C-alpha cells in the first residue's frame, strides 16, 4: 500500500488518524509525507519515520531539527541507548528516519556521517512444535479466527499479508496464494493447503466476504493486525503455550517444519519472500533435521549396564 490517507481538517494535516502538530513542525511532516510518496514508500514506513522524527523533534524542542548540529544527533542517539535502552533494531530505524530527513528534506547528509549503527543482536526465532501448533488451532472455537491462523501457518504468511488478502488472491485451480505488495513492495506466490482450502470454502459460505478475505467489524474494512495478534495471543494462552511467541511464530514454524520435512531451502526462501537465502538459513539453526540425529556423549557415560549403545 503506497503512502495515502491524508486529508486536511480545519487546515491541519491529519494522517491516518494522527493528531495535528504545531505550526513549526507541521510543515516537516507535510514534506516527509510528500517525499516518501514520490518514492512510493509504504504507509507503514511513513508512520515509522514520522514517529521517530516526532520524538527527535520533541527532545530538542523548541529548537527545530533544521537548527541542530551533528553533535545534537549523536547526543540524541546516545540518549536512546543509555536512557531509553532501546534495542539495536529500533535505534537503527530511528537512524534511518533521521538520515532520510536530513539527506532528502534538508540536503544535509553529513549530519549522520561517521555515526556507527549499533551492533544488532543475533537472536534465533522461537519455534512451536507441530503438537503446539495443533494445540493453538484446537483451542479456538471461533471458526473465522481458526481459519485465519491456519492460513498464516499453512502458507508462511506475515500477519499483515494475511489481513490484506482479497478473495481473488486465493487461486484454487493452481493451489496457490498470491501475496501482493509484501515487504519490500514485492509480489510473490505461496502454497495453498487443501485442508485450508476446504476450510476457506466453509468460511466463504458462512461470511461471504467481498473486498477483503477477512473483514473487520466495519464492513469493507480489513481485519486489523492488532486484532489478529490478540486472537493468537488468546489461543496460545488457552493452549498452555509457555514459550515467548507471537502470531509471527507461526511463520517461523512453517519454515522450520518444511526444512525438517526435507524441503530444499531455496524453495522455502521463495515461499517466504526472502531476498537472500542467508535470511532463510536462520531456520537451519533451530531445525531438528540434523541436530536431532546427533547423540550426546552423556548417553554413553550414563548408559545403564548391560544396554548396548547404537
Q: Which domains does the chain have, with CATH numbers?
A: 6-112 (1.10.150.130), 130-291 (1.10.443.10)
Q: Which of 37, 180, 248, 270 is catalytic?
A: 248
pLDDT for the residue 217: 87
183 catalytic residue (yes or no): yes
Q: Does the pLDDT of residue 273 top 80, yes or no?
A: yes
19 catalytic residue (yes or no): no
| Among the listed residues 115, 119, 66, the one whose alpha carbon sits nearest the alpha carbon of residue 95 | 115
Can you say whether the dihedral through the CA atoms of 98, 101, 104, 110 is positive or negative? negative
Q: Which of 52, 164, 251, 252 is catalytic?
A: 251
251 catalytic residue (yes or no): yes
**Residue ranges with strand state E in the chain:** 6-9, 12-15, 170-171, 176-182, 186-191
Q: How far apart are CA 29 and CA 15, in angstroms?
A: 9
Is the full-model pTM beyond 0.75? Answer: no
The strand pairing partners of 154, in sequence order, are none
Q: Which of 166, 183, 238, 289 is catalytic?
A: 183
Q: How are beta strands 170-171 and 12-15 bridged, if at all?
A: unpaired
Average pLDDT (187-214) is: 94
Average pLDDT (199-204) is: 96
pLDDT tens digits for range 76-90: 999 999 999 998 889
* Planar angle of CA 150, 153, 154, nearest 5 degrees: 80
185 catalytic residue (yes or no): no
For 289, the grid coordinates are 533435521
Q: Does the pLDDT of residue 9 top 50, yes or no?
A: no
158 catalytic residue (yes or no): yes
Q: How far apart are CA 290 and CA 94, in angstroms?
A: 39
Q: Does the pLDDT of residue 183 top 60, yes or no?
A: yes
Q: How far apart are CA 26 and CA 28, in angstroms?
A: 5
223 catalytic residue (yes or no): no
pLDDT tens digits for range 134-149: 999 999 999 999 999 9
Q: How far apart are CA 112 and CA 169, in angstroms?
A: 42
Contact between 122 and 281 (Cβ < 8 Å): no
Q: Which of 158, 164, 252, 257 is catalytic?
A: 158
| Among the listed residues 22, 42, 24, the one whose alpha carbon sits nearest the alpha carbon of residue 33 | 42
Q: Does the pLDDT of residue 250 top 60, yes or no?
A: yes
Q: How far apart are CA 78 and CA 72, in angstroms?
A: 10
Q: Does the pLDDT of residue 56 top 90, yes or no?
A: yes
pLDDT for the residue 7: 42
Residue 71 pLDDT class (50, 70, 90 cuts): very high
Amino acid at each position: 500500500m503506497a503512502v495515502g490517507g491524508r486529508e486536511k481538517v480545519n487546515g491541519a494535516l491529519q494522517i491516518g488518524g494522527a493528531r495535528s502538530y504545531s505550526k513549526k513542525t507541521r510543515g516537516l511532516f507535510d514534506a516527509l509525507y510528500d517525499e516518501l510518496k514520490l518514492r512510493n514508500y509504504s504507509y507503514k514506513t511513513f508512520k515509522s519515520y514520522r514517529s521517530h522524527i516526532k520524538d527527535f523533534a520533541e527532545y530538542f524542542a523548541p529548537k527545530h531539527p533544521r537548527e541542530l548540529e551533528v553533535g545534537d544527533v549523536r547526543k540524541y542517539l546516545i540518549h536512546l541507548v543509555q536512557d531509553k535502552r532501546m534495542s539495536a533494531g529500533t535505534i537503527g530505524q530511528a537512524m534511518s528516519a533521521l538520515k532520510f530527513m536530513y539527506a532528502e528534506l534538508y540536503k544535509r547528509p553529513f549530519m549522520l556521517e561517521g555515526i556507527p549503527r549499533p551492533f544488532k543482536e543475533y537472536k534465533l526465532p522461537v519455534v512451536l512444535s507441530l503438537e503446539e501448533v495443533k494445540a493453538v488451532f484446537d483451542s479456538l472455537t471461533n471458526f473465522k479466527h481458526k481459519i485465519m491462523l491456519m492460513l498464516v501457518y499453512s502458507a508462511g504468511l506475515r500477519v499483515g499479508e494475511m489481513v490484506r488478502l482479497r478473495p481473488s488472491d486465493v487461486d484454487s485451480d493452481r493451489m496457490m496464494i498470491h501475496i501482493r505488495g509484501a515487504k519490500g513492495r514485492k509480489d510473490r506466490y505461496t502454497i495453498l493447503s487443501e485442508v485450508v482450502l476446504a476450510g476457506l470454502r466453509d468460511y466463504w459460505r458462512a461470511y461471504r466476504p467481498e473486498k477483503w478475505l477477512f473483514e473487520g467489524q466495519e464492513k469493507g474494512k480489513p481485519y486489523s493486525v492488532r486484532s489478529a495478534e490478540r486472537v493468537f495471543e488468546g489461543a496460545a494462552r488457552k493452549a498452555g503455550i509457555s514459550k515467548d511467541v507471537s502470531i509471527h511464530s507461526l511463520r517461523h514454524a512453517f519454515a522450520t517444519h518444511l526444512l525438517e520435512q526435507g524441503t530444499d531451502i531455496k524453495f522455502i526462501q521463495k515461499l517466504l519472500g526472502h531476498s537472500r537465502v542467508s535470511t532463510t538459513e536462520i531456520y537451519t539453526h533451530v531445525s531438528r533435521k540434523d541436530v536431532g540425529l546427533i547423540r550426546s556423549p552423556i548417553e554413553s557415560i550414563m548408559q545403564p549396564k548391560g544396554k548396548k549403545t547404537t
